[in-house]
Amino acid sequence: MSRFAFDHVHLRSPDPDATAAWFVEHFDCAPKGRNEGPSSLRVMLDLGGINVFIDRVPASTPGNPPAPFLGIEHLAVAVSGIDAIVEGMRAKGVRVVVEPNDVRPGTRIAFVEGPENVRVELLQRG
């Protein structure tokens, strides 16, 4: 058994509540709670069994450069019915940055862009 297990994804946003609402609406995340202090806010979500923490930072905090770049570039979520999901997201105003396409037999992907330019890959296998 491995000594390591994946624990969470940590995002930063000037408006954690709005970022969390986007993930709840478009990725069926379940709210897990929030911690608020005099100068801090963390909103916690569950995305398919993975913890997502969203911390407040000043709006002046620099973001990631346009992809591709070094380091963690995107999140990936497994889906079923990728084409319908992408069309549903597009209808709700989500920016689709890579249309659904077959990258190899049995694997179809698409990319959308979330708050703070977070790229999320939709991945359908089988």
Q: How many independent structural domains does the chain possess?
A: 2
- Do residue 80 and residue 34 come from a single domain? no
pTM for the model: 0.92
Q: What is the pLDDT of residues 7-58, one digit of tens each?
A: 999 999 999 999 999 999 999 999 999 999 999 999 999 999 999 999 999 9
- Do residue 49 and residue 2 come from a single domain? yes
Choose one of 15, 34, 59: the last residue of a domain.
Answer: 59
Q: What is the pLDDT of residues 98-115, one digit of tens each?
A: 999 999 999 999 999 999
Tokens of 38: 């005099």
Residues 88 and 122: their CA atoms lie apart, in Å, by: 13
Domain that holds residue 119: 73-126
CB of 61 closer than 8 Å to CB of 14: yes
